[in-house]
Chains A and B, each alone.
Chain A
Amino acid sequence: MSKKVTIDASGIYYRQLNEQIREAIAAGATEIVLNNVNSQRYIAGAVEGPIKFEVNGVPGQDMCSFMRGPYVRVKANAQDGVGNTMDDGLVVIEGLAGDVVGYAMRGGKIFIKGDVGYRVGIHMKAYMEKLPTIVIGGKAGDFLGEYMAGGILLLLGMYSDKPSEPIAGRSLGTGMHGGVIYVRGEVPKEQIGPGLSAQPLDDADKAVVEGIVKEYAKELGLNAKEILAADFVKIKPFSHRPYGNLYVPA
């Protein structure tokens, strides 16, 4: 049985707003609509279970941090730190997102329509059935997927406000030792981190990309065929343990 609760967040300090959200969930709410959100931090942070959120307005830092399960749709831009150490659930951002999206993310999905800032998807990790996934419809700043240890980053470069910039910033995937970064089209060689290179997709990769793109396109009302009508490349760690001897030479 679903129960919808609407909260007017205008002028409410983040602590009180998050208290109200938790009280609503404790009282059985399964769908929460937040209106007039502006700047409140930690929305849906550490919330567990299949709760549905609609965020109207620009949420503050660390939205959906440590979240486990909810579906969150932001009908605006988002700021920094979305999905920090998120564990499960789906975040859909209809605008752009700031820096460090999905930091140390360990499960669930984040779909962003537009551009993202710097250090997106750094320290992402995967384990058994946990496979964190971030899709970026626009372009990304430097250090995308830095120190990545697992999961999937998919960069489309299509819905960007920055026509003259490269699809990804400097140091793409620097220090990655797990997971995969898929990029639609080409990545300038000098943008890719040391020792890494862009490789063509194999059939298994193509099936993965197609599956993710279809879900992404459906969530954001985009045309999957159009997104898939281009070649993709992948960037993966160059060996099983690329930095195994970094500090202790074998």
Chain B
Amino acid sequence: MKAPERYYDFQKDISGCGVFGVIHKKRGLIPGEMPIRSMACMHDRGNGLGGGFAAYGIYPDLADKYAFHLMCDTQAAQDSAEEVLKHYFTVHLAEPIPTRKVVTIKNPPVMSRYFLTIKKDRPQEGRDLGEQDYVVNAVMHINHKVPGAFVFSSGKNMGAFKGVGFPEDIADFFRLEEYKAYIWTGHNRFPTNTPGWWGGAHPFTLLDWSIVHNGEISSYGINRRYLCEHNYLCTLMTDTEVVAYELDLLIRKHGLSKEMACKVFAPPFWDEIARMPKQEKEAYTALRMVYGQALLNGPFAILVADNTGLFGLNDRIKLRPLVVAEKDDMVFMSSEESSIREVQADLDRVWMPKAGEPVIVHLEA
């Protein structure tokens, strides 16, 4: 899973890609079989160079621990990463992520997971940080400074599972049919401009945030620079990584609502702002001025999940497909309606959301 040298020569990732998400609003547990079948239905949207899933509610017995998923080139890389983890955290459980041999999955990295809490006696450099900033710093530290080791999941009671392969094969590799979750997202990758490597597969995550994306973040350069100024370091070479960190910056750190963050990502056009009533006009103008560098340009359909819900968003001229459907307490979001029908033939409502208008679904308390 070696990341190529001179990764900064790569700017973009243009992709066909397929995305799928499902949420049970009352936290009913959905078996892994559902997202796996949905993604398999969209097999041809990817090319076998990336598949992945995020699942929420999968570690109920360890729900108060940060669940770190690590992929490492070698055992030595994992040992180095483990040293860093022990420096920052108390390790409650460390184990290999259960996998099985799959004929189509070649040379997988060493997969491990750690269930962690913040050390009581924190190292000097982390004493003044809020708890979540402390965790973010640890993730950045490993991804940036430990060669061949990457943290690809760092939230509580959730996890990302991803790699090089078709999503159904990646699911087989990670034995995802053994998990149950109240939110699932899935991704089928078709990379073109950046390498198809294990770390570059979707979802991208930070703390509880996870994102899967069909499209291309053409503004990757400016977004990445903006994030760098806020101590988020992009190390995974896929444009989508910036969205995970922007979610954390805008929503967790700056306190924006999900709606507002979506309006930063896909703001109304200036001519639309000009026609708005005064107060709205001022609000949207301010958002565009303050967060111009966080705007996501280029085609995208993204699905974002955290421990409060799931939302879907298109770029403002809808250059990628997105379909939303409802059935009782479940809401589905996908690149194709057929992938939803594959697992839920009868639906209460099916629609295609408007460009730039998020569809936000909250878990009920």
Contact = CB atoms under 8 A, between A and B. Distances in A.
Interface of A: 14, 38-39, 41, 57-61, 77, 79-80, 96, 98-99, 115, 117-118, 141-143, 161-162, 165, 169-170, 190
Interface in B30-45: 41-42, 44
Interface residues of B, number: 22
Contact of A60 (B271, B323, B338, B351): B338
Interface of A: prevailing SS: loop
Most chain B CB inside 10 Å of its own CB: which residue of A58, A99, A161 = A58
Contacts of B349: 161
Given A141-B354, A161-B349, A99 B318 contact: yes
Given A118-B318, A190-B275, A77 B336 contact: no
B243 to A, nearest CB: 22
A170 B270 CA distance: 13
B321 A80 contact: yes
Contacts of A39: 41-42, 336, 338-339, 341-342
A38 B338 contact: yes
Given A39-B342, A77-B337, A117-B318, A162 B42 contact: no
A61 to B, nearest CB: 8
Interface in B290-341: 317-318, 321, 323, 336-339, 341
Contacts of B338: 38-39, 57-60, 79
Interface string B341-353: 1100000011110
B352 A79 contact: no
B355 interface: yes
B321 A117 contact: yes
A190 B271 contact: yes
Nearest to B271: A190
Given A39-B42, A39-B339, A58-B338, A117 B354 contact: no
Interface of B: 41-42, 44, 269, 271, 275, 317-318, 321, 323, 336-339, 341-342, 349-352, 354-355
Contacts of B352: 96, 98-99, 115, 117, 141
Contacts of B321: 79-80, 98-99, 117
A108 B21 CA distance: 37
A60 B271 CA distance: 36
Nearest to A190: B275
23 contacts: A38-B41, A38-B342, A39-B41, A39-B336, A39-B342, A57-B338, A57-B341, A59-B338, A79-B321, A96-B350, A98-B323, A98-B337, A99-B352, A115-B351, A117-B321, A118-B355, A141-B318, A141-B352, A141-B355, A161-B349, A162-B354, A169-B355, A170-B269
Nearest to A160: B351
Nearest to B352: A117
B272 to A, nearest CB: 8
Contacts of A165: 354
Contacts of A57: 338, 341
Contacts of B318: 99, 117-118, 141-142
A80 B349 CA distance: 18
CB-CB nearest 5 A-B residue pairs: A39-B338, A118-B318, A58-B338, A38-B338, A39-B41
A57 B341 CA distance: 9
Given A57-B341, A98-B352, 11 more contacts: A38-B342, A39-B336, A39-B339, A60-B336, A61-B336, A77-B350, A118-B355, A141-B352, A141-B354, A162-B354, A170-B317
